[in-house]
Structure 1
Amino acid sequence: MTKPAKQPRIGLLGAGPWAARTQAPALAAHPDVEFAGVWGRRPEAAAAIAAAHDTTAYSGDDGIYALFAACDAITFALPPDIQAPLAARAAAAGCHLLLDKPVATTVAGAREVAEAAERAGVASVVFCTLRYAADTALWIAEQAAVGGWFTAHAQWLGSLYAPGSDSPYADSPWRREKGGLWDVGPHVLSVLLPVLGDVTEVTAARGPVDTAHLVLRHASGASSTATLGLSAPVKASGVSIALVGDQGSAVLPDWGDAVRSFGAAVDALLESASTGKAHDCDIRFGLRLTEILAEAEAELLRRG
């Protein structure tokens, strides 16, 4: 009798709300992987997640390397500029990478991860939710195949920092510092780029609080606009992305829960690791998103 192949072992770096609510449940429920352990900057938080999902908790600097040694792949639920250097170390240790967006908030940081993954020959996937949620992933592929788009309009307004908000993600220093441009901007770009082509020109202007307005020119000749923020009034928050072109208009559908979408991202990483074929939303794509957002941020700073 042939012995079943050992399941890939995946570890989680991070023990905050995103790790506890999304990544850990998705890893624990995935039928084709072993949730091999969780590391957190707060040992008590890592221990709570580990206990909830019958896995091992790691802590401290030594714990990071112990988790790398115990795993075939690592997922990340950390602030981007903490994620990036640790992802480079994980790649050097031979671990495949399932990164959160944005990969980093500096081009140098994102490039470090991309180069480390390339040197090590490991697979990578960046979790931009809309690229893995079943309905939106299908919609993106369909609109890219249709083509003929003239323009697109995107609005992603969160209310994390609005009066009356009780979001568990509001207690996030990097989000408060970087705002909607860096937190929800990657989601919008992850839809626009595969449909309209790479961004060739960026114009940016400030709106209320952390809101940023972008006007983008794409390689296809199409243009798009994006309004991004985390401080909108609660009743004004929401997401919409609409395309306009030869076929009329198309509107992004609603998507399912994040746990299921993250499970699909795990599937994508497993496929890339087994086939050696890079995923469309890999670390190189994550680097490109960082380059575009950094250019927009620089223009916002120039405008004061």
Structure 2
Amino acid sequence: MRTGLLGTGPWAATAHAPALSEHPELEFAGVWGRRPEAARALAERHGTRAYEDVGALLADVDAVAVALPPSVQAPLAVRAARAGCHLLLDKPLAADVTEGREVVRAATEAGVASVVFLTTRFQPAPEAWIAEQAAVDGWFTARAEWLGAVFSGDSPFAASPWRQEKGALWDVGPHALSVLLPVLGDVTRVTAAARGPLDTVHLVLEHTGGASSTLTLSLTAPPAATGAVVELRGKAGTTVLPMPHEGPVPALVRAADALLAAARTGRPHPCDAAFGLRVTEVLAAAEDRLGAGR
């Protein structure tokens, strides 16, 4: 599968480009970016071609991997789907629900496969744990905490404009939801939403399975307080999500495997664009609730 990369930022350079280069069943066919000089440098590093015109890249490939801000990703994903390209997308799918629906509509109409890269869902131990807990009845409540210190120290994402604007809700919120939704069921209501220090948010959600969940999300936690935990409590007792320590490249290789499988079989992956849209809808509902309580 000839695959092009859209994006040249830190995430493209440290995760997407190495994963595309390493994957045995993909041909890393080229790079396009909003900064042509960065596209040339990244392409040269991985022995591939830099494209100055995104349309030319889309015409030459079977699939695209996207490492761009959500407001840029969504319209380019629509364009790529209409060009017949399968989609390996990043989270969040889009910056708002309307844009997310356009991506899903374009992918459905074009009949292309899609996978949204939610890191935890493509790591063996967490994915096995999620599948195991989804088969257990009687979950009563869940607690998810996803705390980062992106804007402290030397994080390569500290200068990210969309993270500065959208905050933890949209950056790490998708990770928490990607674990909770397959176990507890879809979100029926954002019961409560409140702001904490800086970009920190606290959410209370109701799920179709009857359980509730609480989420604490932050990109501005003190470095010593960072980390992620998901805990379930119910009739079966208490269990905690195993958090892996491998980097993003192996997980992204597995996401590419999932895209290949979906393209070959026609069976949607659980983390397809439609799932990405549902996560976007929950985030938007939470954002509305936060705005109403401001």
Specify the code of the residue in structure 2 equivalent to 1:188: A
Given that 1:147 and 1:195 are in contact with CA atoms closer than 8 Å, whether structure 2 keeps it comes out as no
Partner in structure 2 of residue 97 of structure 1? 87
Specify the code of the residue in structure 1 equivalent to 2:106: A
Specify the code of the residue in structure 2 equivalent to 1:233: P
Given that 1:131 and 1:191 are in contact with CA atoms closer than 8 Å, whether structure 2 keeps it comes out as yes
- Aligned partner of residue 200 in structure 1, secondary structure: strand
Q: CA deviation at 1:236?
A: 0.9
Given that 2:151 and 2:157 are in contact with CA atoms closer than 8 Å, whether structure 1 keeps it comes out as no
Q: CA deviation at 1:139?
A: 1.1
Note if 1:280 corresponds to 2:275.
Answer: no
Select the residue among 150, 157, 166 that pairs with 1:178: 166
CA distance in 1, matches of 2:77, 2:137: 35
Note if 1:11 corresponds to 2:9.
Answer: no
Select the residue among 248, 269, 281 that pairs with 1:291: 281
Given that 1:155 and 1:240 are in contact with CA atoms closer than 8 Å, whether structure 2 keeps it comes out as yes
Identity of aligned residues (%): 62
Specify the code of the residue in structure 1 equivalent to 2:231: A
Q: CA RMSD in A?
A: 0.8
Q: CA deviation at 1:194?
A: 0.2
CA distance in 2, matches of 1:148, 1:133: 25
Select the residue among 82, 97, 105 that pairs with 1:107: 97
CA distance in 2, matches of 1:196, 1:47: 45
CA distance in 1, matches of 2:8, 2:209: 41
CA distance in 1, matches of 2:228, 2:148: 8
CA distance in 2, matches of 1:44, 1:244: 51
Partner in structure 2 of residue 214 of structure 1? 203
Select the residue among 16, 25, 32 that pairs with 1:23: 16
- Aligned partner of residue 213 in structure 1, secondary structure: strand
Q: CA deviation at 1:100?
A: 0.2
Partner in structure 2 of residue 78 of structure 1? 68
Specify the code of the residue in structure 2 equivalent to 1:211: T
What are the superposed Cα offsets for residues 63-95 of structure 1, whole Å, 9 maximum, x if unpaired? 101110111001100000000000000000000
- Aligned partner of residue 280 in structure 1, secondary structure: coil
Given that 2:139 and 2:235 are in contact with CA atoms closer than 8 Å, whether structure 1 keeps it comes out as yes
Which segment drifts farther, 262-271 or 41-50? Answer: 41-50
State the TM-score, normalizing by the size of structure 1. 0.95
Given that 2:67 and 2:90 are in contact with CA atoms closer than 8 Å, whether structure 1 keeps it comes out as yes
Q: CA deviation at 1:147?
A: 3.0
Given that 2:146 and 2:172 are in contact with CA atoms closer than 8 Å, whether structure 1 keeps it comes out as yes
Specify the code of the residue in structure 1 equivalent to 2:126: T
Partner in structure 2 of residue 199 of structure 1? 187
Q: CA deviation at 1:148?
A: 2.1
Q: CA deviation at 1:47?
A: 1.2
Partner in structure 1 of residue 26 of structure 2? 33
Select the residue among 37, 42, 56 that pairs with 1:44: 37
Select the residue among 99, 119, 139 that pairs with 2:109: 119
What are the superposed Cα offsets for residues 49-69 of structure 1, whole Å, 9 maximum, x if unpaired? 11111111112xxx1011101
What are the superposed Cα offsets for residues 125-154 of structure 1, whole Å, 9 maximum, x if unpaired? 101111111111111111111232111101
Runs of 5+ unmatched residues, structure 1: 1-7
CA distance in 2, matches of 1:35, 1:161: 32
What are the superposed Cα offsets for residues 177-202 of structure 1, whole Å, 9 maximum, x if unpaired? 00000000000000000000000010
Runs of 5+ unmatched residues, structure 2: none
Which segment drifts farther, 26-35 or 144-153? Answer: 144-153
CA distance in 1, matches of 2:126, 2:177: 14
Partner in structure 2 of residue 168 of structure 1? 156
Note if 1:253 corresponds to 2:246.
Answer: no
Aligned residues: 292
Partner in structure 2 of residue 243 of structure 1? 232
CA distance in 1, matches of 2:219, 2:38: 26
Q: CA deviation at 1:248?
A: 1.0
